[in-house]
Each structure stands twice: as C-alpha cells, then as structure tokens.
Amino acid sequence: MLKNWLKIYWYNTMKHKMYFLLTVVGLAIGIASITLASLYYLEEKSYNQWNPNKDEVYVIENLGKRMMYSSQPLTLGRYIHDNSGAVESYMYYGYYRSVTVNRNGKSFEVKKALDSQNTFFSFFPYDFVYGNAQTALVNLNDVALEVTLAERIFGQGVNPIGQEILFDDQNYIVAGVYEIGKKRSSLMPELVTHSLTQEAMTNNDWGSASTPMLVKTKDTHRVSEIIESVIDDNLYAGAAKDKGMSLDEYKKTVIGDMLTRPTFYSLKDIHMMNGKYFFSEASANLNLLYITIGLSVALLLLSIFNYINLSLTQMMERGKEIGVRKVLGAKRMDIYLQCIFESSLMVLTSFVLAICVMELLLP
C-alpha cells in the first residue's frame, strides 16, 4: 500500500511541478522563519541561566521620580556586608575597556578587559582550564584570562600560569585561565583584573558613586532598609545639619523629586529587561525580538494558508482518481490516510529544505 501511495505521490508531483515547488518553498520559508525566531529568543533568554547564583545575585539601581543611576559608593558594599548580616558577598565592576597586551615584543588587542574585584568568579563561576577560582585573583597584579585569549598570546595547549604580561604600563602575572565557551552571561570578559578590591576596602567617601555593584543576598528588603539608613546617616544627615534642618525636612525640601531609593534586579531576569544598561553585554532588544517573532508567525501562517489553498485546488483536479479508487474498493479511511501520508511527505521535504536555509542564514 505504501509503495502504491509513493507511486501516486511521485506521479502527481512530476505532473504538477510548479505546485510542488510553491508549496515546499512556502512551507520551508515559514518553518525556517519561526525556527530562527525561536533560536533568537532562546539565545537571549539563556543569558545567566547557567549561573548557579542567578537567584541570589542582584544589581542595585537607585531609582527615583526624576532620576536613576546604578553607580554606588565604594564604601557601601563593605558596610552592608559587615553590618547587615544579609549580604553574603558583593562585587564592584566596571565596563569593558580596550587594552593592548604585550608579551615578548608582540602586541595583542583585547576589547573586553574588565576591572572588578577578587569575588568575580564567585558571582560568575566559569570553569577553569588552568588554576582555580580561589587562587585566580589574590595578589594585586594577578590577572585571569579567557582561554581563547590565552591561546592567542601563549599558544594552544600551553599552561600560562605564572607567566608575565604587560598592559596599562604595568606587569601582571597570569593566575588563572577560565573558559566561557557557549555560556551566555551579562559579563563575558576576555581579561579580568581585581583593581577595585583594594579601593573598595579602603575608600570611605560616601559622596562619590563610581561603579555599579552586585550583591549576593536572600533578603533584598533587609538590604534595602540598611542602604537607605546608611545613606541617610553618612550623606544626608550632615548636609541637613549644616542647613539647620531635620533629616526628613532636608530630604523633602532640598532633595525633593531627586530622592532615589535602592531597587534590586535579579541576575536571572536582567538581560530581558529592555533599556537597563548595567553591563557591557547589552540587554536584549525586546522590541526587535517581538517584531521578529510576530513576523515569523505571520510568515508561517501565510505559508500554511498557501499550502491549504493549493492542496484544495489540486484535490479538486484529483476527483476522478478518488472516484476510481472508491469504485475499486478503497474505503474513506484509506483516502484519509493517503492524504495524511502525502501531506507528511510534503512537510518533511519542507522541513529538510528549511534546515538548509537555516544553515545558510545562521551566523
């Protein structure tokens, strides 16, 4: 029976080549478009999902009626860690910058160099190829390299631990080599220093907010209260006293609409928050994402309607064939199964073509 169906399918395909081409190409475009849109969505959604700390790591934004900013005083992290009891760890970090690494007279351009703290690999626990997270950022001149960069500088398969490199007019010792691979994260640097560690431990200036900060906590409400209290005590109280005002009066009349409060955004959700620029790895462009998904769904629906219309047109031309088959004893279920068989072959062919299209279009 299947052999007979295949012969009939092949005969009709050869007889109506243009119908076959239009149907297969239309379905292939629809399938390829919805698959590519799905891959795009899954790619954006996968950011930080591999991270075991994603549910406990938050970035802090100061949010008010008229202003918002994410930079925090360098003394804040130390204070809330030592006094709140709710902050397990904190990490200041900068934005990517470009540096030129020199090694044995050769220069290597690095576009994703990151200044952070020695807690970086507890917040973003990438796998280590050489060394480990505990020893990667200990001494002031330690540096950790992503494995791709390490191979560019030292060669493939070479352990560079203890080797010296030069950038920013300073010698650094390679203390760890980590691998990002296919993991997607809000921070994916090629080179990491912990130049902010010492400054975060010694800085006592509450008036300067220079870099964003991540905190690892399970009680954001408690941490928020601590931050508001310590900012009031160390920043606003003295200014209010100088003006002869109470703290509440100063905040209401002098600061007014410029007053901000700490807001916490989870690491697992931050990439899908359009317009939040806390990291050098840009957040997802949700408008483009939704437009892409909408257009791909529309293309798929149009291809399905096109297939249905062409199928109905051809089925009317095959009425004589169906009548002869019924005369010869074919049952209604047999006709149904043959139609399903032919449709399945058509969809399978379109799917294979769609895979070929995706292979050409995917970066």
Listed in sequence order, the residues at least 6 apart from 121 whose beta carbon sits closer than 8 Å to its beta carbon are 133, 136, 137, 144, 176, 178
Q: What are 303-362's pLDDT values in tens digits?
A: 888 777 777 666 656 656 556 565 556 566 666 666 777 677 777 888 888 888 888 888
**Main-chain dihedrals φ then ψ at residue 359, nearest 5 degrees:** -65, -35
Residue with token string 């005369």: 327
Which whole number is the average pLDDT over 79-105? 91
Cβ distance 230 to 81 under 8 Å? no
Angle 179-183-189 from CA coordinates, rounded to 5° = 55
Percentage of the chain with pLDDT > 90? 45
Determine the pLDDT at residue 15: 63
Start-to-end CA span in the chain (Å): 44
CA distances from 101 to 109, 113, 168, 171, 175 (A): 6, 10, 8, 10, 15
Q: What is this structure's pTM?
A: 0.81
Determine the pLDDT at residue 238: 80
Indicate the range of 86-95, 99-108, 196-205, 289-298 predicted with least confidence. 196-205
Question: Could you give the count of Cα atoms lying within 13 Å of 317 in the half-sphere of its Cβ?
Answer: 9
Mean of the per-residue pLDDT values of the chain: 85
Q: What are 49-80's pLDDT values in tens digits?
A: 999 999 999 999 988 888 888 889 999 999 89
pLDDT tier at 275, thresholds 50, 70, 90: confident
The span from the CA of 325 to the CA of 348, in Å, is 26
Determine the pLDDT at residue 255: 78
Q: DSSP string spanning 287-333?
A: HHHHHHHHHHHHHHHHHHHHHHHHHHHHHHHTHHHHHHHHHTT--HH
Determine the pLDDT at residue 330: 59
Cβ distance 223 to 217 under 8 Å? yes
Determine the pLDDT at residue 326: 59
Range with top average pLDDT, 36-45, 234-243, 257-266, 302-311:
36-45
Q: What are 111-125's pLDDT values in tens digits?
A: 999 999 999 999 999
Which whole number is the average pLDDT over 170-177? 95
Which whole number is the average pLDDT over 228-234? 86
Please give the single-letter amino acid code of residue 169.
Answer: D
Determine the pLDDT at residue 331: 63
**Main-chain dihedrals φ then ψ at residue 206, nearest 5 degrees:** -80, -10
pLDDT at residue 256 greater than cutoff 80? no
Percentage of the chain with pLDDT > 70? 87
pLDDT at residue 293 greater than cutoff 80? yes
The H-assigned helical ranges of 155-285 are 195-202, 220-231, 237-242, 247-250, 267-270
Determine the pLDDT at residue 276: 78
Token representation of residue 202: 């010694």
Determine the pLDDT at residue 181: 92
Which whole number is the average pLDDT over 251-275? 85
